[in-house]
Amino acid sequence: MARVIVDVMLKPEILDPQGRAVMGAFARLGVHGVVDVRQGKRFEITLEGEPTDEALADLHRMAEELLSNPVIESYTLRVEA
Amino acid sequence: MARVIVDVMLKPEILDPQGRAVMGAFARLGVHGVVDVRQGKRFEITLEGEPTDEALADLHRMAEELLSNPVIESYTLRVEA
Amino acid sequence: MKIGVVTFPGSLDDRDAQRAVRLAGGEPVALWHGDDDLKGVDAVVLPGGFSYGDYLRCGAIAKFAPVMTTIIARAQQGLPVLGICNGFQILCESHLLPGALTRNDHLHFVCRDQRLRMERVDTVWTNAYAEGEEIVIPLKNGEGGYVADDATLDRLEGDGLVVARYLEVNPNGSLRDIAGISNPSGTIVGLMPHPEHAVESLTGPSTDGLGFFVSALNRLVNA
Amino acid sequence: MSLDTVGRAESTPEAEQPYAELGLKPDEYERIREILGRRPTSSELAMYSVMWSEHCSYKSSKVHLRQFGEKQPEGGWPQLMVGIGENAGVVDVGDGWAVTFKVESHNHPSYIEPYQGAATGIGGIVRDILSMGARPLAVMDPLRFGPADAPDTKRVLPGIVAGIGGYGNCLGLPTIGGEVVFDATYAGNPLVNALCVGAMKHEDVHLASAKGVGNLVILYGARTGGDGIGGVSVLASETFDADGPAKRPSVQVGDPFMEKLLIECTLEVLRAGLVEGIQDLGGAGISCATSELASNGEGGMHVRLDRVLLRDPSLSPEEILMSESQERMCAIVMPGNVDAFMEICRKWEVEAVVIGEVTDSGRLTIDWHGERVVDVPPRTVAHEGPVYNRPMQRPSDLDALQADDARALTRPTTPQEIRETWLRMTGSPNLASKKWVTSQYDRYVLGNTVLAQPEDSGMIRIDEESGLGVAVSTDCNGRFVRLDPYEGAKLALAESYRNVAATGARPLAVTNCLNFGSPEDPEVMWTFAEAVRGLADGCLELGIPVTGGNVSFYNSTADTAILPTPVVGVLGVIDDVERRTPISWGPDGEVIYLLGDTAEDFAGSEWAHVMHSHLGGLPPRADLARERLLADILIAGSRDGMLTAAHDIADGGVAQALVEMALGSGVGARVWAPDGVDAATFLWSESPGRAIVAVPRSEEMRFTAMCAARGLPAHRIGAVDSGLGADVGRPGEQVLQFGDVVLTLAELREVHEATFPSYFGPALTV
Ligand SMILES: Nc1ncnc2c1ncn2[C@@H]1O[C@H](COP(=O)(O)OP(=O)(O)O)[C@@H](O)[C@H]1O
Ligand SMILES: [Mg+2]
């Protein structure tokens, strides 16, 4: 059993209304010194067996085509220790 | 400038329709050997200065009260190296 | 009888809630999220919409608005509060009601005329209905799936705090088909469907929604 | 690279400039040099290139669109308050109320990023309506897609629908209608048109002009980022090659929450009388807003571009000028009113900043940190762009196409054939239930929706006291336009007009979105010109003006142009929305009348398309005098309470209209064909100028007498009958019976509603 984490974030140049809303709330709640907030998605994927190269290649494909929208998002994939 | 990451995931006992939908898509797209997928939120918070104890205390409070809903979600917070 | 309707940034059904109060014979009073003064209202409606865009979590940010600080305090002392859709989400986020509302199980926003069974009819907001009465009012939400742990659900059922249940279809995956709940004293009610959109036969599927507002006025008059 | 100032441009006349990359032709670049008497600075080049793009300058369509203004009755249009040229036209609907509406395209962005493309399409048209001073009240979404079973349609359609819903729902505007049409020619080039309608009191109408020397220019709303830079000229002026999604320019992301704040904030500053002129920022962003405002006003403006609030501080002046960041507006405010204006912005948590002031210099000058980067005559940017009289040629295949007569196609005759055809048509993608789409849209918000999909028109109440309301419909059968663009455009207009009248509203005004292929293709250009001519003539005949619209060219993939698709929106007014006529008949006993004449009109019909994959022949002629008569009857019938239901007949003919009326009410009916009309023609011909009405028996005499007196053919073709099931051996069931053909409403509903989920996955459509 291995655990793979895929993080999907909007590309930096793309507007992130969600992050902006959180920033606004921080300010109203008296939390200062925060210069930026970005909100993205986190996927925790549990594999049956070991994270073989094929398995990871598959997941990279999924991260690229399904979990993220390459037009506006970028992803990172890592096997959790 | 420090970067703080807050991950928010649904508690294991709470149904995660999005994760389930991803699982389903995996199967249809011929990706096998995946036993579970959970989808959560990832927040990338950029601080002006150093992650002082007060700053982190503030963010823990935010993660607890704002970024997550303790009724259904749990969070982890870490300062990015 | 004055019923306040709160407008948060991103509230959408606030005018509709005011109209419903008026048609029920009450006096709607506009309350502003940034103002902690309740202007002497006898009850409060938290209307539907997408407060603060609902980007983070529905109702998550609205609960911190100045007006909510007052409403939470007063509600705990018995001020009647009806939360509709986003308002229900705010009530849960504020812990005035148990549980939470999550993404619809089918992952789509859904707008439909929804049949409900009224189950608790002794609350401030539902006393105009008969127990077991079936009504049809609009439902429109993307995150309307009611969830809570089994203990909480059992307590809600056991204490008869379930106000309304979905009939025919469960439109969002709500546990035990729960469409609305109340606090034990029946002053606070949260409801996912929209009674304020069923107050005129011209613009709604029925006028079944009027009862929620009439109920409050009845209770307030007789109080 | 160091700042390209006006001084620098003068001192380095021969510097190479990337005008071609920016979409400018050599002669256009030369003309800019002539206008300025020097080479443009890079900022000026950015402005001209984006403002002279097809999308912003209408350089290929202008010469044709003129007809909309020229073809008007003696003394002009009585109902028209603001005509073409503003962000949207405005018509007088009585009681001191004015209504504005407009349809616009967001086709190419929606192909590249379906969700955001469609979402920002809604955002853009809503700001156009808002900028007239109106409160936006409802939206509609005419959509076109490739085949329902094409993989790319599966990618594009759900995203576009989610985007429209995601933005419109969060913005708090009901979606009250639209279209979903599939055709192979839209594969790789879907059409996403968005319509918004808004209302205001006469005195609240505002225009986009910078009046009053010394008045200040305020930019407010979202911050400016690198969104869709050059999006207008690049996205809207280039064709996709097969590997479409491969080339991906920066996509604009919409923030409906910000737009909602922008609406409330804008209406509050307008109603407080703090605004002299106002303009939305759409395509071409600040370039468009500043040059149009200046050109429409005193003629001059000075802007300090470094004052613009940025999301991305690294943006250059050129990028800031071209940025298409969403949810921004520009207002002209008297100096004395600025504090009050800012106060209201603060209340709504909307950022605002003074970026310049109105001058009478006749120039638009823009400084960047004290250095002059733009110094141009604003008219040359905004209104005196290039105008092309493009070569036109009648499509070489048109004669062959028109000769291929659809009347020759084999028609179903036996009860079995008719039954099978009926079921197959009912479930075909273009006729199937659109609930999968529309159940994702909020149709209740604002509490004034009187009619919404699947009715003939969307109808909203604009005055709660008097019940005054408006109805809007959009339509276009692109196959008709392909077969005969002049008649086809008239037919689109006629259908939309008929749909409005069917609800009891009196048609008043027209908007349109002309979706075509490349204007550089003479055959496309000829088709476009014919369609515009037909539309302009049709509007004159019907007595309703075109108040605004939009042109979208370059809708083609490498090998195919889309069906020419001039989407026509008609707006009508109804004195009391209580009088509206729905499409659902019932409860029981009414008689069913077919109004109008039925001919063997199969050319371009849905029947020919579905059953024979055939496109050919001559489409029916649009008899607009007949359409007017039919409309009069439908409106009178509604006003005098003679009708319980009315339904326009178009795609799928009488058969489809009957199915929709029956399914809407859940009550069956017995129907028969008028004398001398064969079954297939009766059921599936698409002759225009027709409607089906349900008349209570108590009103039958009065209604038929009215039709006879006015000379409108009215054929008694059936009766609503909830008890029919028993007679035909289906006790307890509601059925449609046509001779020996018996269809239960249950089986019709099943095929009608199963189609979309089968292609696009389960959704809560029940
Ligand atoms: N097909 C058309 N029919 C009528 N008016 C049109 C059409 N296309 C564009 N227009 C008008 O031309 C003017 C400029 O259009 P456009 O630049 O798209 O306005 P905006 O930038 O405000 O959306 C508007 O008044 C618009 O209504
Ligand atoms: Mg505009």
Q: Given a cut of 70, is residue C223 above it in pLDDT? A: no
The predicted structure's pLDDT at residue D232: 34
**What does the alpha-carbon distance between residue B73 and residue B68 come to, in Å, rounded to a whole number?**
6
The values of phi and psi at residue D656, to 5°, are -70, -40
Neighbours of chain A (3+ CB pairs under 8 A): B, C, D
pLDDT confidence tier of residue D250, bands split at 50, 70 and 90: low
Q: What is the mean pLDDT of residues D73-77?
A: 92
Q: Work out the pLDDT band at D313, boundaries 50, 70, 90.
A: confident
| Mean pLDDT score, D132-152 | 97
How many CA atoms within 13 Å lie on the side-chain side of D127? 32
pTM: 0.94
Residues 6+ apart with CB under 8 A from D709: none
Residue D736 CB partners (closer than 8 Å, separation 6+) = D658, D659, D662, D668, D669, D671, D742, D743, D745, D748
**Percent of chain C predicted with pLDDT > 70:** 100
Burial degree of D82 (CB within 10 A; 0-12, 13-18, 19+): buried
Mutate to test the pocket of ligand 1, among D550, D552, D553, D565 (most ligand atoms within 8 A of CB): D550
Token pair, residue D548, equals 């605004």
The whole-number average pLDDT for the span C168-179 is 96
Q: Is D245 left (phi over 0), alpha (psi -120 to 50) or beta?
A: alpha
Per-residue exposure over D508-532, b if at least 16 CB sit within 10 Å of its own CB, e if not: bbbbbbbbbbbbebebbbbbbbbbb
Lowest-pLDDT range of B23-37, D454-468, D588-602: B23-37
Per DSSP, B67 falls in state: I
- Look at residue D239 and tell me whether its pLDDT is greater than 60: no
Q: Give pLDDT, residue D103.
A: 98
- In this structure, are residues D680 and D612 in contact, taking their beta carbons and an 8 Å threshold? no
Strand blocks (E) in D438-528? 449-451, 458-461, 469-475, 506-515
Token pair 């506006």 in the structure block, residue: A72
- Return the pLDDT at D164: 98
d(CA D398, CA D390): 20
Beta strand extents in D502-658 (DSSP E only): 506-515, 546-552, 565-574, 591-595, 645-648
Which phi and psi angles does D470 have, rounded to 5°?
Answer: -130, 150
Check: CB of residue D293 under 8 Å from CB of residue D332.
yes
Say what the pLDDT of residue D417 is. Answer: 98
What pLDDT, on a 0 to 100 scale, did the predictor assign at position D762?
A: 80
Distance D128 CA to ligand 2 centre (A): 5
Does D64 participate in catalysis according to the annotation?
A: no
Task: Please check the confidence at residue D243 and state whether its pLDDT lies above 80.
Answer: no
Is 0.95 exceeded by the ipTM? Answer: no
**Each residue of D202-234: pLDDT tens digit?**
999 998 888 899 999 999 999 998 887 754 333
| pLDDT greater at residue C63 or residue D233 | C63
D346 Cα–ligand 2 center, Å: 24
- Give per-residue pLDDT as tens, C99-155: 999 999 999 999 999 999 999 999 999 999 999 999 999 999 999 999 999 999 999
- At residue D233, the pLDDT reads 36
Q: Which of A10, A16, A18 to mutate to test binding with chain C, by most C CBs within 10 Å of its CB?
A: A18
In order, the DSSP letters of chain C are -EEEEEE-TTB-SHHHHHHHHHHTT-EEEEEETT----TT-SEEEE--B-GGGG-SSTTTTGGGSHHHHHHHHHHHTT--EEEETHHHHHHHHTTSSSSEEE--TT-S-EEEEEEEEE----STTTTTSPTT-EEEEEEEESS-EEE--HHHHHHHHHTT-EEEEE-S--SS--GGGEEEEE-TTSSEEEESS-GGGSS-TTTSS-STTHHHHHHHHHHHHH-
Matching residue, tokens 């069923």: C198
User: Is residue D237's pLDDT more than 50?
Assistant: no
- No. of H helices and E strands in chain B? 2, 3
Amino acid D240: pLDDT:
38
C157 CA from centroid of ligand 1 (Å) = 58
Mean pLDDT of the residues in chain A: 92
pLDDT at D423 over 50: yes
- Taking the C-alpha atoms of residue D55 and residue D60, their distance in angstroms, rounded to an integer, is 10
Helix (H, G, I), strand (E, B) or coil at D60: coil
Q: Which comes out higher in pLDDT, residue D676 or D559?
A: D676
Please, what is the average pLDDT of chain C?
96
Distance in angstroms (rounded) separating the CA atoms of residues D235 and D227: 12
Tell me the count of C-D CB pairs closer than 8 A.
97
Q: Coil, strand, or helix at residue D118?
A: helix
Q: Which residue's entry shows tokens 């029956």?
A: D662
For chain B, what's the residue count?
Answer: 81
Token pair 């220019």 is found at D217
Kindly report, residue by residue over D473-514, the tens digit of the pLDDT. Answer: 999 999 999 999 999 999 999 999 999 999 999 999 999 999
pLDDT at residue D246, as a whole number: 29
- What is the mean predicted confidence (pLDDT) over D445-461? 97
Say how far apart CA B20 and CA B10 lie, in whole Å.
Answer: 13
| pLDDT band, very low/low/confident/very high, at D149 (cuts 50, 70, 90) | very high
| Candidate from D52, D81, D84 with most ligand 1 atoms within 8 A of CB, to mutate | D84
Q: What percent of chain D has pLDDT over 70?
A: 97
Q: Residue D2: its pLDDT value, please?
A: 76
In C, minimum Cα distance to A40 occurs at C56
Residues facing D698 on adjacent strands: none
Number of neighbours of residue D397 by Cβ within 10 angstroms: 10
The ligand 1 atom at the shortest distance from the C-alpha of residue D282 is 21
H-run or E-run covering D262: helix D256-271
* Residue bearing the CA closest to ligand 1, atom 15: D550
Segment D452-458 shows an average pLDDT of 96
Per-residue pLDDT tens for D596-649?
999 999 999 999 999 999 999 999 999 999 999 999 999 999 999 999 999 999
For residue D229, the model assigns a pLDDT of: 73
What's chain D's average pLDDT?
94
